[in-house]
Protein backbone atom coordinates (compact mmCIF):
# COMPACT_ATOMS: atom_id res chain seq x y z
CA UNK A 1 0.00 0.00 0.00
CA UNK A 2 1.06 3.51 -0.80
CA UNK A 3 0.17 6.73 1.03
CA UNK A 4 0.14 9.76 -1.23
CA UNK A 5 -0.98 13.37 -1.24
CA UNK A 6 -4.20 14.13 -3.12
CA UNK A 7 -5.91 17.45 -3.93
CA UNK A 8 -9.31 18.27 -2.44
CA UNK A 9 -10.71 18.05 -5.98
CA UNK A 10 -9.59 14.43 -6.45
CA UNK A 11 -12.66 12.33 -7.38
CA UNK A 12 -11.55 9.39 -5.23
CA UNK A 13 -11.20 11.69 -2.20
CA UNK A 14 -14.69 13.04 -2.90
CA UNK A 15 -16.08 9.49 -3.07
CA UNK A 16 -14.41 8.54 0.24
CA UNK A 17 -15.66 11.70 1.98
CA UNK A 18 -19.24 11.02 0.79
CA UNK A 19 -18.97 7.44 2.07
CA UNK A 20 -17.58 8.71 5.39
CA UNK A 21 -20.42 11.19 5.82
CA UNK A 22 -23.03 8.54 4.92
CA UNK A 23 -21.54 6.13 7.45
CA UNK A 24 -21.50 8.85 10.12
CA UNK A 25 -25.19 9.59 9.55
CA UNK A 26 -25.97 5.87 9.91
CA UNK A 27 -23.86 5.62 13.08
CA UNK A 28 -25.35 8.68 14.75
CA UNK A 29 -28.93 7.69 13.93
CA UNK A 30 -29.69 11.15 12.56
CA UNK A 31 -28.90 12.92 15.82
CA UNK A 32 -29.86 16.57 16.04
CA UNK A 33 -27.00 19.03 15.98
CA UNK A 34 -24.92 17.13 13.42
CA UNK A 35 -23.57 19.55 10.85
CA UNK A 36 -21.14 18.77 8.08
CA UNK A 37 -18.96 21.78 7.35
CA UNK A 38 -16.92 21.41 4.19
CA UNK A 39 -13.52 23.03 3.86
CA UNK A 40 -11.47 23.65 0.73
CA UNK A 41 -8.16 24.09 2.53
CA UNK A 42 -7.72 20.50 3.72
CA UNK A 43 -4.49 18.75 2.66
CA UNK A 44 -5.47 15.15 1.99
CA UNK A 45 -3.54 11.92 2.09
CA UNK A 46 -4.92 8.79 0.47
CA UNK A 47 -4.01 5.17 1.09
CA UNK A 48 -3.85 3.46 -2.29
CA UNK A 49 -4.17 -0.28 -2.82
CA UNK A 50 -3.97 -1.76 -6.34
CA UNK A 51 -4.38 1.72 -7.84
CA UNK A 52 -7.51 2.57 -5.84
CA UNK A 53 -7.85 4.93 -2.88
CA UNK A 54 -9.14 2.86 0.05
CA UNK A 55 -8.68 5.37 2.87
CA UNK A 56 -8.23 9.09 3.36
CA UNK A 57 -7.62 11.75 5.94
CA UNK A 58 -6.65 15.37 5.92
CA UNK A 59 -5.09 18.21 7.85
CA UNK A 60 -6.60 21.68 8.09
CA UNK A 61 -5.07 24.70 9.76
CA UNK A 62 -6.74 25.86 12.98
CA UNK A 63 -4.04 28.38 13.85
CA UNK A 64 -0.41 29.14 13.09
CA UNK A 65 0.87 26.17 15.15
CA UNK A 66 -2.26 24.02 15.34
CA UNK A 67 -3.73 21.67 12.76
CA UNK A 68 -6.96 19.70 12.79
CA UNK A 69 -7.36 16.14 11.60
CA UNK A 70 -10.29 15.88 9.19
CA UNK A 71 -12.20 13.20 7.29
CA UNK A 72 -10.38 10.08 8.50
CA UNK A 73 -12.01 7.15 6.72
CA UNK A 74 -11.12 3.59 5.74
CA UNK A 75 -13.39 1.61 3.43
CA UNK A 76 -15.09 -1.16 5.47
CA UNK A 77 -13.50 -3.97 3.40
CA UNK A 78 -10.04 -2.68 4.36
CA UNK A 79 -10.56 -2.26 8.10
CA UNK A 80 -8.71 -4.36 10.65
CA UNK A 81 -5.42 -4.20 8.72
CA UNK A 82 -3.78 -1.32 10.57
CA UNK A 83 -4.44 1.13 7.72
CA UNK A 84 -6.00 3.80 9.93
CA UNK A 85 -3.02 3.69 12.29
CA UNK A 86 -0.56 4.02 9.37
CA UNK A 87 -2.59 6.84 7.84
CA UNK A 88 -2.77 8.64 11.19
CA UNK A 89 1.03 8.44 11.56
CA UNK A 90 1.45 9.83 8.02
CA UNK A 91 -0.98 12.67 8.78
CA UNK A 92 0.92 13.49 11.97
CA UNK A 93 4.13 13.63 9.92
CA UNK A 94 2.43 15.93 7.39
CA UNK A 95 1.23 18.19 10.22
CA UNK A 96 4.76 18.27 11.66
CA UNK A 97 6.18 19.18 8.23
CA UNK A 98 3.64 21.99 8.00
CA UNK A 99 5.03 23.38 11.25
CA UNK A 100 2.22 22.41 13.58
CA UNK A 101 3.07 21.80 17.24
CA UNK A 102 -0.35 20.34 18.03
CA UNK A 103 -2.92 18.29 16.17
CA UNK A 104 -6.57 18.34 17.23
CA UNK A 105 -9.57 16.34 16.14
CA UNK A 106 -13.26 15.90 16.72
CA UNK A 107 -15.16 12.64 16.66
CA UNK A 108 -18.53 11.45 17.90
CA UNK A 109 -19.36 9.84 21.22
CA UNK A 110 -21.10 7.13 19.15
CA UNK A 111 -17.77 6.09 17.50
CA UNK A 112 -15.94 4.06 20.16
CA UNK A 113 -13.55 2.47 17.62
CA UNK A 114 -12.38 5.92 16.48
CA UNK A 115 -11.96 7.09 20.08
CA UNK A 116 -9.99 3.91 20.83
CA UNK A 117 -7.68 4.50 17.85
CA UNK A 118 -6.98 8.11 18.78
CA UNK A 119 -6.39 7.47 22.48
CA UNK A 120 -4.14 4.49 21.73
CA UNK A 121 -2.07 6.78 19.48
CA UNK A 122 -1.50 9.35 22.21
CA UNK A 123 -4.44 11.74 21.78
CA UNK A 124 -5.86 13.11 25.01
CA UNK A 125 -9.38 14.49 25.59
CA UNK A 126 -9.72 18.27 25.43
CA UNK A 127 -12.70 20.60 25.79
CA UNK A 128 -14.97 20.80 22.75
CA UNK A 129 -13.88 23.71 20.54
CA UNK A 130 -14.88 25.78 17.51
CA UNK A 131 -17.78 24.62 15.39
CA UNK A 132 -18.32 21.61 17.69
CA UNK A 133 -19.17 23.55 20.88
CA UNK A 134 -22.93 23.20 20.53
CA UNK A 135 -22.87 19.53 19.54
CA UNK A 136 -23.51 17.35 22.61
CA UNK A 137 -22.16 14.27 20.78
CA UNK A 138 -18.76 15.78 19.91
CA UNK A 139 -15.64 14.51 21.63
CA UNK A 140 -12.42 16.38 20.99
CA UNK A 141 -8.81 15.25 21.39
CA UNK A 142 -5.33 16.71 20.92
CA UNK A 143 -1.77 15.53 20.64
CA UNK A 144 1.44 17.51 20.94
CA UNK A 145 3.74 16.81 18.02
CA UNK A 146 7.49 16.36 18.42
CA UNK A 147 9.59 19.49 18.31
CA UNK A 148 12.09 19.74 15.46
CA UNK A 149 15.71 19.45 16.57
Report pLDDT for 5.
Answer: 96
Whether 27 has a pLDDT exceeding 90, the answer reads no
Could you give the CA distance from residue 72 to residue 110 in angstroms, rounded to a whole number? 15
Q: Classify residue 110 by burial, with Cβ atoms within 10 Å: 0-12, 13-18, 19+.
A: middle
Could you give the CA distance from residue 149 to residue 143 in angstroms, rounded to a whole number? 18
Confidence of residue 24 (pLDDT cuts 50, 70, 90): confident
Question: Mind listing the pLDDT tens digit for each residue in 61-100?
Answer: 999 999 999 999 999 999 999 999 999 999 999 999 999 9
Three-class HEC string of 55-109? EEEEEEEEECCEEEEEEEEECHHHCCCCHHHHHHHHHHHHHHHCCCCEEEEEEEC
Whether 32 has a pLDDT exceeding 60, the answer reads no
Could you give the CA distance from residue 13 to residue 9 in angstroms, rounded to a whole number? 7
Average confidence (pLDDT) over 11-28:
88
Question: Mind listing the pLDDT tens digit for each residue in 100-143?
Answer: 999 999 999 999 999 999 999 999 999 999 999 999 999 999 99
Closest CA relative to residue 12, chosen from 102, 83, 96, 75 = 75
Confidence of residue 29 (pLDDT cuts 50, 70, 90): low
The answer to pTM > 0.85 is yes
Question: Mind listing the pLDDT tens digit for each residue in 36-59?
Answer: 445 568 999 999 999 999 999 999
Q: How many CB atoms lie within 10 A of CB 93?
A: 14
Amino acid sequence: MLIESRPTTDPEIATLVVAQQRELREADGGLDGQVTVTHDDIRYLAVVDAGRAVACGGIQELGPRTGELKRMYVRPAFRGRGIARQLLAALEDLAFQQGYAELRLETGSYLPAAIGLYTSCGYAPIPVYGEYVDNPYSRCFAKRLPVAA
